[in-house]
A and B are shown apart, each in its own frame.
Chain A
Amino acid sequence: MVFSRFERPYEDNPAPRHALSVENVSLRFGGVKALSDVSLDVQPREIFAIIGPNGAGKTSLLNCICGLYHPQEGRILYGDVNLVQTPPHRLAHLGIARAFQNIELFTHMTVQDNLMLGRHIHMKKNILDALLYWGRGQREEIEHRRFVEHVIDLLEIQHIRKQLVGSLAYGLQKRVELGRALCINPGLILLDEPMAGMNVEEKKDIVRYVLDINEEWGVTIVLIEHDMGVVMDISDRVAVLDFGILIGLGTPDEVRNNPTVIQAYLGEEGG
């Protein structure tokens, strides 16, 4: 089977796309309130941006969704699963993928192997299949390789397929991490500053990939980003955090004209 560049390869069941709703979440580290009473909801197939000054609690919120942090109050529902009580490794099984702010790739493996690890939850082969490589194990491996190849095509990283990730340039590593998240075949992707430290050209590329993934694959996207131009351009809705408090939520235009937001954030930057 040959895929067009944008067609999502549906060999395994695509993860169902649920709405994500954060309900009254509060997170404290000792006396520091990282998040206080944050509520927001992300609709399926939406591009949802979370913005805010440094230390506003954006990554903490993402970590709560991922189950890495446990908020003291509130709940986070994905479909009807409460993510607060879900161990981090179950997230991938629910169809939620994540790319980290500081790249967390398997630096000792090649790009291809990194992407294959994204297929981990879809692999059935056990030790016996591995021993008898021919047969079921091999067929399965070919299917996963085909999926990976498709993601490689989509992100245009054919030329670095066999290279060790640790030796790649920063921009390419970010792209590989996005690719690995895609290999989970997720319904929701959490992107933590996917364009940080990139030049204009690289940013353009990432924006294009994010839009492709959202439109062609129908994946819901939650992203944290500092580049206001990009955020206002591609997001359907934007949430603004400041000191752990949600101070604005709405379409880019609504947020841009929200006086609290202007005062807290945009005002200082744009004047």
Chain B
Amino acid sequence: MTTNTKTETLKPSIVEKIVAWVRANVLLCIVLVVLLGVMIAMLRQAFSSGSEMQKFIRLTYAGLTDGSLLALIALGLVLVYKSTDVINFAHGEFMVIGGFVGYQLLVWLSPNMNAPLAVILAVVGMVIAAVLFGILLERFVLRPMIGEPVISVIMVTIGLSNVIAAIVGLVWGNNAQRLPIEALPNNLFNESGRFEIPFEGARRPLFLGHENLMLIAVVMLVTIALLIFFQRSKHGIAMRATADDQQAAMSMGISIRVVFAFAWSLAAITAALAGLMIGETSIGVSAQDIPVVGLRAFPVIILGGLDSITGAIVGGLIIGLVETYTGGYIDPSLKEIAPYILLLIVLMIRPYGLFGQEIIERV
């Protein structure tokens, strides 16, 4: 009997736990309530008529597509940060060079074979090129920087972005190029290449493109593979250890050079995939415009947490949705700044981002 009462007093009830959590996270709760309100308002409007529902679904679909692309770009940044503590300012240019390599391969391959095979071969070639790129980068750019402060390496990536941009300009010129064939199949389920959903009260049926679905699927696949890799495989853990303490990682028998080459290769692969997918959109494969898309990934990684793969994905989707909802419901001109407003609010509550690792300091 006595033991019973003892455990009861020690273990707080669920209600007490919730109250304690709310007290500890007052700001977060306020934001959550506001968000909930906004969502309810949006859903009420969506259910008010057929055309509103259509608009809501269209915006959500566009937001998820956009968000997936941002998430894929953010993934590359997170991978490098996670294993080397460096923020890669050349990531936009990684996308450019990856996109152009993919474009070139498609130009060579597509006249000689059917479209799906050409795309698969082009992607494989792109991945191989990205791995080579990562290895060369480690050998000639990063290895001389071992032991230097992280900020120096970050400066080097800024220089690198200019060098890559110049090389791309020399080889492929400065004009945007269109991919010779569609990299993402656009007639997956039917010939027209889109879902058509008629809505009552709407003037036209709702069109949803297949390629968007493919884009979301690609991002999900890449993410799941990376998550498993980082959680389970020996090399993923070695990368996490290297980011934490290089000297200790070495004394555990981990080769830092291999880890660096690996991290930058993975980043180059995700960047190349993202570059090719942007090439598919109205932007085209462009040395000027792809890095601009890359810049949009910075709020994503800060929102999600610099070192979290999950954070990159969730952050990417949130920012994609917030952008399209703001553009659709409030004002298209607010679209660009909405992510930053959100970012400010989140950082006030969680300075390390939504999923970022809190840094413990013992003083």
Residues of A within 8 A of B (CB): 66, 68, 87-93, 97-98, 100, 104-109, 113, 116-118, 120-121, 123, 125-127, 129-131, 133, 137, 164, 166-167, 180-181, 184
Contact = CB atoms under 8 A, between A and B. Distances in A.
B254 A127 contact: no
Given A88-B250, A104-B245, A126-B234, 11 more contacts: A68-B247, A104-B247, A104-B251, A113-B237, A117-B249, A117-B252, A120-B253, A120-B254, A125-B233, A130-B234, A130-B236
A92 B248 contact: no
A92 B252 contact: yes
A127 B229 contact: yes
Contacts of B245: 104-107
Looking at B234, B240, B357, B360, the one whose CB has the most chain A CB atoms below 10 A away is: B234
Nearest to B233: A130
B317 interface: no
A110 B93 CA distance: 37
A137 B228 CA distance: 13
A131 B228 contact: yes
B306 interface: no
B6 interface: no
B11 interface: no
User: What 4 A-B pairs have minimum CB-CB distances, sorted nearest first?
Assistant: A92-B253, A130-B232, A121-B253, A130-B233
Nearest to B234: A123
Most buried by B among A106, A109, A125, A131: A106
17 contacts: A89-B250, A92-B251, A92-B252, A97-B251, A105-B245, A117-B237, A117-B252, A120-B234, A120-B241, A121-B253, A125-B234, A127-B233, A129-B233, A130-B233, A130-B234, A164-B360, A181-B251
A121 B245 CA distance: 17
A109 B240 contact: yes
B123 interface: no
Nearest to A99: B251
B266 to A, nearest CB: 12
B259 to A, nearest CB: 10
A126 B229 CA distance: 9
Contacts of A97: 251
Given A127-B229, A184-B253, A107 B244 contact: yes
B238 interface: yes
A89 B228 contact: no
B256 interface: yes
Interface of B: 228-229, 232-238, 240-241, 244-245, 247-256, 357, 359-360, 362
A121 B252 contact: yes
Contacts of B232: 130-131, 133, 137
A168 B254 CA distance: 25
A108 B244 contact: yes
B258 to A, nearest CB: 9
A87 B234 CA distance: 20
A166 B362 contact: yes
Given A125-B233, A131-B232, A137-B232, A118 B244 contact: no
Contacts of A118: 252
A264 B252 CA distance: 36
B235 A127 contact: yes
B255 A117 contact: no
A131 B245 CA distance: 27
A164 B357 CA distance: 12
A125 B235 CA distance: 9
Nearest to B361: A166
A91 B244 contact: no
A106 B250 CA distance: 12
Contacts of A107: 244-245, 360
Contacts of B237: 113, 116-117, 120
Contacts of A113: 237
B251 A98 contact: yes
Contacts of B255: 87, 89
Contacts of A106: 240-241, 244-245, 248
B69 to A, nearest CB: 26
Contacts of B359: 108
A255 B185 CA distance: 79
Contacts of B256: 89
Given A89-B254, A117-B241, A100 B248 contact: yes
A166 B360 contact: yes
A123 to B, nearest CB: 5
Nearest to B250: A88
Residue from A123, A126, A130 whose CB has the most chain B CB atoms within 10 Å: A130
Given A100-B247, A133-B232, A108 B357 contact: yes
A130 B248 contact: no
A66 to B, nearest CB: 7
A130 B229 contact: yes
Contact of B238 (A98, A109, A120, A126): A120
Contacts of B252: 92, 117-118, 120-121, 180, 184
Contacts of A100: 247-248, 251
A181 B252 CA distance: 8
Among A87, A104, A123, A167, max chain B CB count under 10 A is at: A104
A108 B243 CA distance: 10
Contacts of A98: 251
A137 B234 CA distance: 10
Contacts of A129: 233
Contacts of A133: 232
Nearest to B256: A89
A131 B315 CA distance: 26
B82 to A, nearest CB: 11
A8 to B, nearest CB: 19
